[in-house]
Amino acid sequence: MKKTRSVLYVILLIVVFGTGYYVGSRSENVKPITKENARQAIKLLWVQSDEPPMPKVVIEDTDITLRRSGYSWCNADNCVTTDAAPLTLEDMTPVVVKGGVEIITTPPEGINEFTIKNLTAPEIDGYTVPTEPGSYLYEIYCSWFMDQGHASFYFAVTVQ
């Protein structure tokens, strides 16, 4: 009985070590984790675009044209930073809309942060057109995951 148990233990050890050896020998093509390998893996997860993708803004079934300002953006090949002063109402051509309607936004893919602000009347929610007649400038700020980049986008509306 003791001899059978000893033989079983020896067989079990051979199977365990043999399996470990087999698995270890099969992993010879696995690359070690280095900073460069990690950077390459992150780049594979980035949004594939030469510039920051534009969000979409719709007010009362009307697609609103956005203007991109300064941005920082990386793709698989390189990183670019553009510098630009924030846009003003004078730089924009406002779209005439009804007051009090909802501003529907669709963020671009891969977004980490997405904020919309009414720069003319900051106390008003950025997702609703003010009811007071006048022109209003909006800013949308986007940042992407894994430090791929960030950008600001602007549009303007006029309430009559």
Please write the tens of the pLDDT for every residue from 15-24.
776 676 666 6
Is the Cβ–Cβ distance between 13 and 21 less than 8 Å?
A: no
pLDDT the model gives residue 129? 96
- Residue 39, φ and ψ in degrees, nearest 5: -60, -45
Mean per-residue pLDDT for 20-39? 70
Per-residue tokens: 84: 């630009």
Burial class (CB in 10 A: 0-12, 13-18, 19+), 117: middle
Q: How confident is the model at residue 122 (pLDDT cuts 50, 70, 90)?
A: very high
pLDDT > 90? residue 85: no
pLDDT > 80? residue 137: yes
Mean per-residue pLDDT for 88-100? 95
